[in-house]
C-alpha cells in the first residue's frame, strides 16, 4: 500500500461529534423541499446539508418528515444534526422565510433563471433559501412567483433534469463555495 495515497481512517478525518456539530457555526443557507415524493431523496438532502454545514432543511407539503425509515436509510443520522421545520405549503414557507430576511431562490429552469455558476452573493451575511421541486413537476409556479429569483444548473446532454438529491448536492456544494470564498 502506498503511503502517499492511502485512504484516511475515521480518526484521521477528524469529524465533529453530533454534539460539537450542533454547536458549530453554520452557513446561512436553508434547503426548502417542495413536495418531494421520495423519502430517500429527503434523507440524501439531510445528509448533504450536514456535509456542507448548512443551517437547516424546510419540509413542505407531501414531503416525508423524520422519523421515517427511508429518510434514516439515506440520512445516516443527519436528521439528528440538521435542524428542520415543516410547513403545510411551500408558499407559506417562502413567505415566512422572506419575512425573516431570507433571499429565496427556486432551483428551476425558468425564462429568467440565472446559471448557478453566475450566482453572486452580494451580502454573505444575508441568509438564503434554495427551493427544490417535486421529482416530476419541479418547483410549483406559485412558489417560483414568490421567490426573489431562480437559479439553474447548466446541463449539456440530452436530459434536462437531474435527480433532486443530485441537484441538491451540486447546489449545496456551489453555494457553500461562494459563502466560504474570501
pLDDT in tens, 152-161: 999 999 999 9
The arithmetic mean of pLDDT across residues 141-167, rounded, is 97
Percent of the chain topping pLDDT 70: 99
Domains of the chain with bracketed CATH: 25-153+160-180 (3.40.1280.10)
DSSP designation for 97: H
Kindly give the residue spans of alpha helices, DSSP state H, lying in 37-163. Answer: 39-51, 69-75, 90-99, 141-144
| Spatial distance between the Cα atoms of 164 and 38, rounded to a whole number of angstroms | 9
d(CA 160, CA 177): 24
Q: What is the DSSP letter of 36?
A: -
The per-residue pLDDT for range 20-35, each reduced to its tens digit, is: 999 999 999 999 999 9
The pTM of the full predicted model, rounded to 2 decimals, is 0.95
Amino acid at each position: 500500500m502506498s503511503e502517499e495515497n492511502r485512504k484516511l481512517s475515521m480518526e484521521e478525518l477528524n469529524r465533529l461529534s453530533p454534539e460539537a456539530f450542533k454547536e458549530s457555526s453554520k452557513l446561512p443557507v436553508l434547503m426548502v423541499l417542495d413536495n418531494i415524493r421520495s423519502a430517500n431523496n429527503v434523507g440524501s438532502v439531510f445528509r448533504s446539508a450536514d456535509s456542507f454545514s448548512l443551517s437547516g432543511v424546510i419540509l413542505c407539503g407531501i414531503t416525508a418528515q423524520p422519523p421515517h425509515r427511508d429518510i434514516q436509510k439515506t440520512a445516516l443520522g443527519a436528521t439528528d444534526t440538521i435542524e428542520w421545520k415543516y410547513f403545510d405549503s411551500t408558499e407559506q414557507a417562502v413567505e415566512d422565510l422572506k419575512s425573516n430576511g431570507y433571499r429565496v431562490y427556486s432551483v428551476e429552469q425558468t425564462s429568467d433563471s440565472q446559471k448557478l455558476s453566475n450566482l453572486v452573493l452580494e451580502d454573505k451575511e444575508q441568509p438564503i433559501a434554495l427551493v427544490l421541486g417535486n421529482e416530476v413537476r419541479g418547483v410549483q409556479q406559485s412558489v417560483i412567483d414568490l421567490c426573489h429569483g431562480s437559479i439553474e444548473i447548466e446541463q449539456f446532454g440530452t436530459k434536462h433534469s437531474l435527480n433532486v438529491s443530485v441537484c441538491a448536492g451540486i447546489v449545496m456544494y456551489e453555494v457553500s463555495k461562494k459563502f466560504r470564498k474570501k
